[in-house]
Structure 1
Amino acid sequence: MTNFVGIDIGGTTIKVGLVNQEGQIVRKEAFETPQDQTTLIAKLVQIIQDFQQTTPIAGVGVSVPGVVQADGFLTTAGAVKCLTGVDLKGLLTEKLNLPVAVENDANAAAIAEQWLGAAKGVTNYLSLVLGTGVGGALVINNQIYRGAHARSGEFGWMLVEDDEIDVEMGSLNFRGATVIGLLRRYNQFSADQLTDARIIFERAAQHEVLAQNVLTSYYHSLAKGIINLMVAFDPEKVIIGGGISANETFMTQLNAEIQNVQSVHNSIKDLALPTVVAADLKNEAGIIGAVYQVMQKR
């Protein structure tokens, strides 16, 4: 069976998987993300070569944050600052002599969901990833839409609330993300400084007023952002990724608030809006989606 290496580069951790042609991860490794470019590239090359000692590798797919051009050049690289302005595809191709594909992490996750997950059989859909900020991807006619500057999918920059002092504080990033949205707003008014959003849901279930109020505001902002995307792009489905999407209470309440906002919007209240579902592949989506991209380009 043909095997590929999938790499998911994050700000703190790099995950690597040996993936077969059916999308199954048969071996996984992870290590801390180096902070300098030379060490990071050397580590990637080393681990791929280690895989090659026991398994023939047909190609390498890489998922990375930031603005990724179609040719694999990283205009930005999010939290992995040492890769900003780097032709990552070119570097790895030269060192490995293998086919290499490099993809934005949110795009890779969306592609994986179409191959094996919640978007299977869906031609036009949106994917939102709720984490530190709000990333995402737009798939039109089975293709990632990149935009004129490869910045399509930066849904977190949308303005969903008014803030006259700092406009960005009204963006979906600062209202709908898990970290700089939900956790930040709770911590603003709490003596605790939480780092785990699950505690907010637990406290809301225990009738803590602050947790309930923050979640109500959070759902409302996120619902407005999602409805904005629905009416702008008319997708068949909206897929929510990120750790929070595994929380059934979150998904239920989010869908309820989307319906609530729709019901008071006269122009759309009678329309059939697309379903909003949780992503299926969770933390493995980046690896799987990156591999799918290199499979398609062989």
Structure 2
Amino acid sequence: MTELTTHFLSIDIGGTYIKHALINRSGQIIFVKKEETPKTIEEFKTCLTGILDQYKGQVKAVAVSCPGKIDSKEGIVYYGGSLSYLHQFHLKGFIESYMNLRCAIMNDGKSAALAELWLGQLKDIENGGVMTLGTGIGGGLVLHKTLHSGSHFQAGELSFMLLSTDVPIGLGTVAGAKGSAVNFIRQAASVLKLEDPLNGKKVFEELEKKNELIYPLFEEFCRNVVIVIMNVQSVVDLQRIAIGGGISAQSILVEEIKRQYQQLLASVPLLETMLTPVEIVPCHFRNEAGLLGALYHLLEELEGN
């Protein structure tokens, strides 16, 4: 038996890359690798088995973070987010059969929440949440120090929250559109006439300068995020919400979200009087969140049995 058999394989399936890492029981990442995410289910299976082959005989079990609605008990992926070819794929069974090891699967947003619960901003919090800002708004709710999945594994899917009473209701009225970091970057890049419509680095350079062409768009984007936070807070009364996603690396983001939150409270005295404000912080983990959160879920399953 080699020393590495005390470690775990964690896989984070994203729309662009599949990251895989060797991690120990304490959450220390030994190393991380990544592969480009395939375009079809057959290419995906080939890629996945290639990853698994690298760790055969070296790990105790396998953890996976994946987009989509995840039945974490059965290990089946539904819809798959941007990877629609994963719909109804029995990912857990595929990996367990190939590796002859235990495997656990968790939604990517909920994995981010679990990473923060285990070792990050929610570690000592009784009731908290994570909002991941990307193509839409993902996340997870931690209630009584436990991930709340809901009756159908979809609690915390904030993208589907309605933010408008417009009739007819369309995709443009849901939180996933109004609070989309990707949509905001595209709009700002268009106003700035950037060649790359997703040049977030340049957009934030201009925001730091308070560029008047795009700062109002930024304020509107952050205000929409705050409306989601306020709606969540009115239902579950959290102590802390951690903001994640690649965009959260920009300190100006959380600063502006906090400012918009205070403005909203001040503009509606009843909210300021009746609702205890939630603490808003950046996530501790970003690129590693899916890897660590998936492992935490796996450890819960292994050590709970």
Structure 2 length-normalised TM:
0.90
Query: Could you tell which deviates more after superposition, 147-156 or 127-136?
Result: 147-156
Q: Secondary structure, in 3 states, of the residue corresponding to 1:51?
A: coil
CA contact (8 A) 1:36 1:82 kept: yes
Distance in 2 (CA, whole Å) between partners of 1:206 and 1:34 is: 39
In the alignment, structure 1 residue 280 sits paired with structure 2 residue 284: yes
In the alignment, structure 1 residue 289 sits paired with structure 2 residue 260: no
CA contact (8 A) 2:158 2:175 kept: yes
Matches within 5 A, 1:98-113: 98-113=101-116
Cross-structure match for 2:121: 118
Distance in 2 (CA, whole Å) between partners of 1:76 and 1:167 is: 19
In the alignment, structure 1 residue 265 sits paired with structure 2 residue 268: yes
- 1:37-64: CA deviation from partner (whole Å, max 9, x where unpaired): 23322332332232235x3x11100000
CA contact (8 A) 1:201 1:211 kept: no
Matches within 5 A, 1:150-161: 150-161=153-164
Q: CA deviation at 1:211?
A: 0.8
Cross-structure match for 1:75: 78
Cross-structure match for 1:183: 185
Q: CA deviation at 1:86?
A: 0.9
Matches within 5 A, 1:165-244: 167-180=170-183, 182-187=184-189, 189=191, 191-192=193-194, 194-244=197-247
Q: Secondary structure, in 3 states, of the residue corresponding to 2:242?
A: strand
Distance in 1 (CA, whole Å) between partners of 2:79 and 2:126 is: 29
Query: Could you tell which deviates more after superposition, 206-215 or 100-109?
Result: 206-215
Q: CA deviation at 1:162?
A: 5.5
Query: Could you tell which deviates more after superposition, 18-27 or 258-267?
Result: 258-267
CA RMSD of aligned residues (A): 1.9
Distance in 2 (CA, whole Å) between partners of 1:192 and 1:29 is: 31
Cross-structure match for 1:247: 250
Distance in 1 (CA, whole Å) between partners of 2:263 and 2:49 is: 51
Aligned residues: 295
Distance in 1 (CA, whole Å) between partners of 2:245 and 2:142 is: 18
- 1:10-31: CA deviation from partner (whole Å, max 9, x where unpaired): 1121000000011011021110
- 1:128-175: CA deviation from partner (whole Å, max 9, x where unpaired): 100111111112222222223222211112222465576321322222
Q: CA deviation at 1:286?
A: 0.3
1:207–1:264: structure 2 CA closer, same or farther, 3 Å change rule?
A: closer
Q: CA deviation at 1:268?
A: 2.1
Unaligned runs of 5+ in 2: none
1:62–1:207: structure 2 CA closer, same or farther, 3 Å change rule?
A: closer
Q: CA deviation at 1:273?
A: 1.2
Query: Could you tell which deviates more after superposition, 229-238 or 194-203?
Result: 194-203
Query: Could you tell which deviates more after superposition, 150-159 or 228-237?
Result: 150-159
Query: Could you tell which deviates more after superposition, 114-123 or 200-209?
Result: 200-209
One-letter amino acid matched to 2:84: K
Match of 1:18 among 6, 15, 22: 22
Q: CA deviation at 1:117?
A: 0.8
Distance in 2 (CA, whole Å) between partners of 1:75 and 1:205 is: 40
CA contact (8 A) 1:134 1:177 kept: yes
CA contact (8 A) 1:159 1:168 kept: no
Unaligned runs of 5+ in 1: none
Query: Could you tell which deviates more after superposition, 41-50 or 237-246?
Result: 41-50
In the alignment, structure 1 residue 33 sits paired with structure 2 residue 76: no
- 1:257-277: CA deviation from partner (whole Å, max 9, x where unpaired): 101101122222134312011
Distance in 2 (CA, whole Å) between partners of 1:170 and 1:272 is: 27
